Amino acid sequence: MISTQGLSKRFGYRWVLKDVDLDAQAGEIVALLGPNGAGKSTLLRILATLSKPTLGECQIAGFSLPQQAAAARARIGFLAHQPLLYEDLSAEQNLAFYARLYRIKRPAARVTELLRLFDLHLRRQEPVRIFSRGMQQRLALARVLLHNPRVLLLDEPHSGLDRAALDVLDSLLRKLAKKGTTILFATHDLHRAQSLARKVYVLAEGRLVAPSDGRRRIPGSFSGVYSRALRAAQKGA
Amino acid sequence: MRLKRGLSLAQYLATVFAILRKDLAVEWRSRQLLAAMLIFTLLVILIFNFALELDARVRSEVSAGVLWATFAFAGTLGLNRSMAVEKEGKALDGLLLAPVDRSAVYFGKAFANLFFMLVVAVLILPMYAILYNVNLWHSGFLLVVLLGSWGYSAIGTLLATMAIQARSRELLLPVLLFPLLIPVFVTAVRASSFFLQGLELTYIWPSLNLLIAYGLIMPALGYMFFDFIVEE
């Protein structure tokens, strides 16, 4: 469902991604770990068709990027660092607008369903500007799920959420994966990655330094592997 | 009729309308763009009125120039604000992620900008007519306002999208925009002036033709290049 071969990205003279080979099957939850500046967001933006790779190949939901980016977009849901919402519009107006862009059948029902799911229904008429960080994140997640995408690319989806919202999100992601949705999420949180993902990639200085084997369970001592991999990458750089 | 990416014309127009409707909703709730444009336009018209102290004959000759200069400067305020809405919260990325023809996003934004310019014109023209003692209620003159505003919005939206990527976008937009506006600006001033002086249509047609051509060429450029401009 997601596959990259030798994916590299350069900004000016700096390579922010180098030879990234990544693979995620349908219904798989895959975590992308790494420190700040490792290239996680850049990788997700390329997979979401917002950026083009400098080198390498990339397939998502059966489409090659960047050649078939336009066709792939209908199958991708991307949660970015920013909520990608209009602050002056209400929660309901934001979702209704995106529902129109994605040509969703019965948009009002879908919007209400998602507002209820993320516990925003009672504040649906309020402008996003006055929402807390966590509420904006929940609304952004609702936006991402509007069109039932087959591939979810989530950049730090847990950030800003309280305990209850974290549990709702995790159970929702597991449920979606069971239905066949492929989920790739970037995080700093090793424990979250271990509890949720079946496969973990570690990105440091733009390179994958510790891909785990999807057929094995992630070992309990993975934190040690993660720390050693990051130290080695930093020394190498 | 099928367009780029195999979308039907109805789907394309639905996207254009969705963007337009969203921009109007944002403005309805924030009331920032129109307020800034209106206040600025009022101030410029008043300043010109008191600074020039023109007699009645000269007033009617320069009024079209003053009007279009005012529109041009107020328009940049509107364009900057219109794109700032897309910059906040990186909402533009949300549009680019949608499975729509990106040129429909351009047309939606351009029509919204045209709408705001026309609202400003409708509110300002009566006051302008009183201060400058000119009769602006001439169908030909109103047509020039419509064509000139469309040309302005079409190229302005494209350049504002380019400028949004830059750090000093408020400065960059006028620097990019005004040189390209010269043809539409000069022609609109000339056509407006001719209509206000009551000249025959024979004298005005060349200017009108130029405005129409500009109003077709600029959106065509937007249709072709918007996708490249918004690419990272």
Q: Which residues of chain B make contact with A95, given a CB cutoff of 8 A?
A: none
Alpha helix locations (H) across chain A? 40-47, 69-72, 91-101, 107-117, 133-145, 163-178, 190-196, 222-236
Structure tokens belonging to residue B108:
């939606």
pLDDT in tens, A202-232: 888 888 876 655 444 455 555 666 666 666 6
The Cα angle at residue B157 between residues B151 and B160, in degrees rounded to 5: 130
Evaluate whether residue A218 is within a structural domain: yes
Residues 6+ apart with CB under 8 A from B166: B172
State the DSSP H helix or E strand holding residue B92, giving kind and residue range, or none if neither: helix B91-97
Which single residue is written with the structure tokens 């405005």? B211
Evaluate whether residue A160 is within a structural domain: yes
Lowest mean pLDDT among A152-166, A219-233, B4-18: A219-233
Residues of A at the B interface, defined by Cβ within 8 angstroms: 45, 48-52, 70-71, 73-74, 76, 78, 80, 82-90, 93, 97-98, 100-103, 127-128, 143
Evaluate whether residue A110 is within a structural domain: no
Residue range A140-147: average pLDDT?
A: 93
Instruction: Quote the CA–CA distance of B188 and A147 in Å, as a whole number.
Output: 46
pLDDT in tens, B94-146: 999 999 989 999 999 999 999 999 988 888 888 888 887 777 778 888 899 99
Identify the closest residue of chain A to B11 by CA–CA distance.
Answer: A103
Evaluate whether residue A118 is within a structural domain: no
Residue range B197-204: average pLDDT?
A: 80
Lowest mean pLDDT among A28-32, B76-80, B150-154: B76-80
B39-70 core/surface letters (b: 16 or more CB in 10 A; e: else) = ebbbebbeebbeeeebeeeebbebbbbbbbeb
Which of A71, A83, A100 has the CB atom closest to B89's CB atom? A83
Q: Which has more pLDDT, B19 or A197?
A: B19
Which of B29, B30, B99 has the CB atom closest to A102's CB atom? B99
What is the full DSSP assignment across B121-139? HHHHHHHHHHHTT-----H
Domain encompassing residue A204: 2-84+150-236
- Residue B52: pLDDT over 80: no
Strand-pairing partners, residue A32, are A186, A201
Identify the closest residue of chain B to A46 by CA–CA distance.
Answer: B232
> Helix B102-131 to helix B139-163 angle, to the nearest 10 degrees?
130
Which of B18, B88, B100 has the CB atom closest to A87's CB atom? B88
CATH number for the domain harbouring residue A47: 3.40.50.300
pLDDT of residue B202: 81
A203 three-class SS: strand
Judge: B93–A82 Cβ closer than 8 Å, yes or no: yes
Which single residue is written with the structure tokens 């080198």? A55
Evaluate whether residue A20 is within a structural domain: yes
pLDDT of residue A116: 92
Strand-pairing partners, residue A58, are A4, A65
Which of A80, A98, A127 has the CB atom closest to B93's CB atom? A80
Q: Which residues of chain B make contact with A105, given a CB cutoff of 8 A?
A: none
Which of A50, A102, A128 has the CB atom closest to B96's CB atom? A50
**C-alpha dihedral sign at B188, B190, B192, B194:** negative
Judge: B91–A78 Cβ closer than 8 Å, yes or no: no
Give the residue from B89, B198, B9 showing the smallest Cα distance to A82: B89
Best probe of the A interface among B20, B22, B31, B165, by most A CBs < 10 A, is B22
Give the residue from A216, A144, A140, A217 showing the smallest Cα distance to A181: A144
Evaluate whether residue A39 is within a structural domain: yes
Evaluate whether residue A104 is within a structural domain: no
pLDDT in tens, A84-103: 999 999 999 999 999 999 99
pLDDT of residue A236: 57
Judge: A50–B93 Cβ closer than 8 Å, yes or no: yes
- Residue B167: pLDDT over 80: no
Evaluate whether residue A129 is within a structural domain: no
Q: Name the domain count of chain A.
A: 1
